[in-house]
Amino acid sequence: MSTMSTNGRGKTAVVIGATGNLGTAIVAALRAAGYGIDETWTRPDRPDACLASSYAQLPETIHLAVYVAGVNVVKPVHELTEEEWDHGFNVNLRGAFLFARAAFQPLKRANGATFVAISSIHSRFPYPHRAMYAASKAGLEGLMRVLAVEWAEDGIATHTIRLGPLSKLMKSTKTNPALLGAVQKKLPAHKLIEPEAVARYILWLADGGAPAVTGAVADFDAGYTLNIWPL
């Protein structure tokens, strides 16, 4: 059964992947802005995002749905196991499909809802040894584009954030200080992206910041993938 935190704003948000570094920042920003949060996904015993049954008790009306859940495996393709590949696709893509399918009617009832998914720059600019992650995130972007076309007449906008280097990595990613340092030098402003900045952008979208935009993929990477200057 869905458990809601309530407030005076009257808007409801569901964040899948709410307990990770990015998800925590998103939930905090939404709470501060007065959104009611479906607490089902903030608990330590939260449901499995890869199971259809986990979405059976979503709130009746959803104004903002955010799919943040994701896992990464850093291995060359010839060492990736089928289990690792399948698990990654289940979390990164299947879960987003299941959430979207179940959330459609609640989003439609909101009469102006927003669905956001977190992709990655690896979908277009992959590092080596990220085959599963890059492929599944590319699939996620395709799914979100289709939803934009299907859902527009129901007042639901979709937005995909193609995320660059965060200051706080995914919990499934092992920190590599040498890589992070090199990435930071490559960033035009030499600053990693704070999760709170992503959260503020999502809040802006949910509050109608881009009413004519749907199906877009935003390169939220602080200019990292544009910076090909070699010196």
Place of tokens 């089902």: 40
User: Model pTM?
Assistant: 0.94
Q: With 90 as the cut, is the pLDDT of residue 93 above it?
A: yes
Q: With 70 as the cut, is the pLDDT of residue 5 above it?
A: no
Average pLDDT for the chain? 94
DSSP at 90: I
H helix or E strand, kind and range, residue 203 = helix 195-206
Rounded CA gap, 122 and 15, in Å? 22
The CATH classification number of 12-226 equals 3.40.50.720
CB atoms within 10 A of CB 185: 9
Q: Each residue of 72-88: pLDDT tens digit? A: 999 999 999 999 999 99
3-state class (DSSP) for residue 215 = coil
Looking at the DSSP assignment, which residues form a beta bridge with residue 208? Answer: none
Q: Each residue of 148-170: pLDDT tens digit? A: 999 999 999 999 999 999 997 66
**Contact between residue 95 and residue 49 where contact means Cβ atoms under 8 Å apart:** yes
DSSP string, 49-72: TT-GGGGTT--S--SEEEE-----
Token code pair at residue 124? 């277009």
Q: With 80 as the cut, is the pLDDT of residue 8 above it?
A: no
All residues at 6 or more sequence positions from 153 whose CB lies less than 8 Å from its CB, including other chains:
none
Q: Where are the domains of the chain?
A: 12-226
